Amino acid sequence: MNDSLSGSDLSCIVQLQEAGFRISKLHRNLPPPSLIEAAIRRREGELSTTGALSVRTGKFTGRSPDDRYIVDDVLTHDSVDWGKINHPLSPEKFDRILNRMKRSLEGKDVFVFDGYIGAEKESRLSIRTITDNAWQNLFAMQIFIRPTLPELLSHNPSFTVLSIIDFQARPEEDGTKSETFIILNLTKRLVLIGSTSYAGEIKKSMFSVMNYLLPFKGIFPMHCSANIGRDGMTALLFGLSGTGKTTLSADPERRLIGDDEHGWSNNGIFNFEGGCYAKCINLQRSMEPQIWNAIKFGSVMENVILDQNREPDFGDESLTENTRVAYPIEFIPNTVLPSVGNHPDVIIFLAADAFGVLPPIGRLSREQAMYHFMSGYTSKLAGTERGITEPQETFSHCFGAPFMMLKPGVYADMLGKRIGEHESRVYLINTGWVGGPYGVGRRMNLQQTRSMVKAAVNGDLEKVSYTRHEIFNVEIPISCPGVPDHILDPINTWSDKQKYMESAKRLASLFVKNFEKFGSMPMEIINAGPRVQ
């Protein structure tokens, strides 16, 4: 046991010992410089010229959804939405893996971060992250909410994440599909992560926990970014990876509440996290200056290639397109601390449509909002994953299916109720292609997308007339400040109008087919979706 341990650190040791851990080399809530020094000394990473710690995550450069499990017990058996996303694991097999993980830590340096998830104090969760390496602990410190000194002195975790990079499961004995695992035990309030270095598993496992716990408290958990204007008007931006959620929320004219995970309670909205986790691929200072400037000492870059001078090459995708950087939210200017906001005035769904047929922006009714929220549409591009040679549609309910542990209708009902209660305006914005599909058309201009978001948020789109899209059934504004009128109806940007209609009808039919998986739904929601003629 370290001779320099404080009283609160000794308390942490006692808590761990009572939980069955035998830890002698504890490093608890070290400051970032100390964690960075330890990571470099242990050859876990290196400093880039920006000052950010650069690490590589090996085999896994993204999440491993097929290796994620939920312990199936009395608490979860009838509440979890079991299926392709939420895989069950028995309590006995969980205990077997946990006991081996505990033994594997004996005699090793163990890094602990104690903090919180949830900026609203009434509903926040006290958490503990235990890792066998310094850089993942730095990641946890920067991504979760850091405690004050008085909070740290009295910290008692209500949920613990244990991540051991080199620990492997025994599939035949443990009931896992491979050596890699992410296991959530809601009863024992433990998350086990093994045989993966990708730190996003730590972040998203706790997001999944919140998605399970909060609805039972009447709080709506959301996979979205949020910001607030000087006038106090709050906006939410939902979207899957690559749709622009982080980029569009980092608006210099508005204050950032958070870039990825939020809750909506009776008090308003609140960030789950204390940091951001931005994609770095093709990052340009001129286009995303706030994120660019946040990549400095204290930040953690994953799988970003450094040249011989240790300069980051953000255009190099030789390891992965999913290059990432984690940094404290304070690294973004004009952030809101604590990260809370009013009930949202505007809700925006982002979809990167690679088929080039969705309108750049459409206004949604409450029923349409529920329909598109349950659909969670975007598209994957050729080359982003092995075997994808042309754009493919992706439907991820609630814009975050891999993290939603209850049935989609539970979350959609919460959204619909809150839209009705607070009269939130809802828009669908296509950040994908216009003028044709990927390879033919062009990507929506980022500045024009920003103009659409701005017009939606500040109320300019409430002052114009609309036409209804005959296939996608959304209302299209006839004008929008900062955007050429002719592109607002996507058919105008296609040289072959017939091909547009064929492609639009194809995508509409995919929406309809996907929605059938939800079974019996109210007709007003079904009829709010695209129309297949």
Q: Are 145 and 273 in contact (CB under 8 A)?
A: yes
Q: Are 511 and 357 in contact (CB under 8 A)?
A: no
Q: Is residue 226 exposed (0-12), middle (13-18) or buried (19+ Cβ within 10 Å)?
A: buried
Position 382: which residue type? Answer: A
**Rounded-to-integer distance, Cα 496 and Cα 468, Å:** 21
Instruction: Please give the positions annotated as active site.
Output: 63, 204, 223, 241, 245-246, 260, 324
Short-list 371, 330, 329, CA closest to 351:
371
Strand ranges inside 251-385, DSSP E: 255-258, 261-265, 268-271, 275-279, 300-302, 305-306, 312-313, 324-328, 340-341, 346-351, 361-364, 377-380
Q: Find the Cα–Cα–Cα–Cα dihedral 316, 318, 321, 325, rounded to 10°.
A: -60
Structure tokens at 59: 């085999």
Measured CA to CA in angstroms, residue 200 lies from 61, 138, 277, 337, 414 at distances of: 9, 13, 8, 23, 27
The string of DSSP letters for 29-94 reads S--HHHHHHHHHHTTS-EE-TTS-EEE--TT-SS--GGGEEEE-STTTTTTS-BTTTBEEE-HHHH
Q: Give the count of beta carbons closer than 10 Å to the beta carbon of residue 21.
A: 19
**Rounded-to-integer distance, Cα 188 and Cα 239, Å:** 32
366-375 and 408-422 helices cross at what angle (nearest 10)? 150
Q: Given CA atoms 280, 285, 291, 293 in this order, what sign does their dihedral have?
A: positive
Query: Is there a cis peptide before residue 31, judged by omega within 30 degrees of 0?
Result: no
Enumerate the β-bridge partners of residue 184. Answer: 70, 191
**Rounded-to-integer distance, Cα 29 and Cα 35, Å:** 9
Measured CA to CA in angstroms, residue 162 lies from 93, 179, 317, 393 at distances of: 16, 16, 30, 35
Tokens 């080399």 — which residue? 25
Return the H-helix or E-strand segment holding 111: strand 109-117
What are phi and psi for residue 271, nearest 5 degrees? -75, 140
Structure tokens at 2: 């370290």
